[in-house]
Amino acid sequence: MKCQFCSNPATVHLTDIVDSHKKELHLCQSCAEQHHLIQKQELNLPAILQSLIGQHLGPQTDELARLTCPACGIKYMEFRAQGRLGCPHDYVVFRAGLAPLLQRIHRSNHHLGKFPQRSVLAPEQQAELVELRRRLQSAIDREAYEEAARLRDLLRRKGCHG
C-alpha cells in the first residue's frame, strides 16, 4: 500500500469512525509526522527498559528503583538482584516494595510471634548506629584516623555495642 499523500510505502494506518462511517488513512512515516498525526518517534531505550522492569516488579518501581538506604548504602535494585537486604533499616526505607513482597511470600505482612522482653531500639536509632558504623568503616578505609576515632567515640557515647 502506498501513502495517500506521496508515493512512499505506507507504514502508518489510522482508522477513525465518525457517525458510524469508517474513515481510513494510509500514510508514510514522514507525511504522518508532517500532518501531526503521530509524534516524532525516537527509540528511548532507558524508558523501554524501565517499563519492562516496571512490568516485572510492579507499579511503584520507578520510585523504588531510585531508593538507597541512607544507613547501609544499598540500593533497592541491588536488593532485588541479590535477594538479600543490607541492614535492619532497609525494612523502613524499602517498605513500599517489601510489604507486597512479604505478602506474596508469607501471605501476611505483620509479625504475630515472639517479642523481645526488653525494649528494642527505635528504627531511627538502629539506622543511625548502622550509618555511624558505615562512616567509621569508610574513615578507616581512607586512613582518616582522626575522623575514625571521633566516630568510634560517638558510637561509644550512644552506649550501644550491640
Partner 1 sequence: MNLDSLTHTSGEWLRGSGPESDIVISSRIRLARNLAAFPFTNRASNGQKAEIEALLRERVAKLELEPKLSYLSIPALSSLDRQLLVERQLISRELAAADGPRGVALTPQETISLMVNEEDHLRLQVMRSGYSLEEAWQEIDRVDDLLEQRITYAFSEEFGYLTACPTNVGTGMRASVMLHLPALEYTKQIEKVFRALQKINLAVRGLYGEGSRASGHFYQISNQITLGKSEANILNEIQSVIPQIITYERQARLSWLRDNRQGLQDKIARAYGTLCSATMMTSEETMDLLSAVRLGINLHLIEEITIPTVNELFIYTQPAHLQKLRGTSLDGEERNAARASYLRQRLREAGAHPN
Instruction: Tell me how far the alpha carbon of residue 40 is from its chain's centroid.
Output: 28
- Chain positions contacting partner 1, by CB under 8 A: 71-72, 74, 82-88, 91-92, 98, 101-102, 105-118, 120-121, 123, 125-126, 129-130, 133-134, 137, 140-141, 160-162
C-beta of 32 vs 69, nearer to partner 1: 69
Smallest gap from residue 66 Cβ to partner 1 (A): 19
Smallest gap from residue 130 Cβ to partner 1 (A): 6
- What whole-number distance in Å separates Cα of residue 84 and Cα of residue 94? 12
C-beta of 40 vs 104, nearer to partner 1: 104
Q: Whose grid coordinates read 501476611?
A: 108
C-beta of 1 vs 99, nearer to partner 1: 99
Smallest gap from residue 36 Cβ to partner 1 (A): 49
Smallest gap from residue 157 Cβ to partner 1 (A): 13
Closest Cα partner for 76 from 58, 98, 55, 56? 98
Q: 26-33: which pairs have CB atoms within 8 A and are 24 or more residues apart?
A: 26/1, 26/2, 27/3, 28/3, 31/3, 31/4, 31/5, 31/6
